[in-house]
Amino acid sequence: TRGLWRLVTSLGTMPDPVGGVLPTAGLPDERAYRVQTERVLGEIADGAGGVVLGRAAAMVLRGRPDVLHVRLDGHPDRRLAAALAHLGGSEDEVRRERDAADAARTAYVRHFYRCDPAEARHYHLVVDSTELPHDAVVDLVVTAARARGIVR
């Protein structure tokens, strides 16, 4: 668990659900981190809404009729190529970052919610975004949101 918590707290340098960056000093304990994250996700969903990337939002907000859970995925090699095209940098560096981010997200969901975040049952829509043009992916998500009555 200690190794996992170090991995989870490394997420503190990633953007938080409301757009800031969590400080790495003085990070809360596991329970406080989970409770705070769930509180913020609930506030977003109860308020004006928004798009939440990660943070186990599909697990935290499951069962709500006013949300759409989407998983954007793709073959790791195609995700790497897309990241290189978008971000630049060395292939080895981008691959390491992709692998670390994937491992951290999976560990976070498994640790706190005891499930596999890759299982399609957690999402309304799963899209291989490396095989479709960006505009088509956006159209799919918007269409699904409209079908759930979320977007007009």
User: Which pLDDT belongs to residue 31?
Assistant: 87
User: Which pLDDT belongs to residue 29?
Assistant: 83
Computed over every residue of the chain, the mean pLDDT equals: 86
Exposure string of 41-69, with b = 16+ CB inside 10 Å and e = fewer, is beebbeeeeeebebbbbbbbbeeeeebbb
User: Which pLDDT belongs to residue 30?
Assistant: 86
Q: Which domains does the chain have, with CATH numbers?
A: 2-147 (3.40.50.300)
User: Which pLDDT belongs to residue 1?
Assistant: 43
Q: Structure pTM? A: 0.77
pLDDT in tens, 43-93: 999 998 889 988 899 999 999 999 999 999 999 999 999 999 988 899 999
pLDDT band at 24 (very low <50, low <70, confident <90, very high): low
Sign of CA dihedral 25, 29, 34, 39: negative
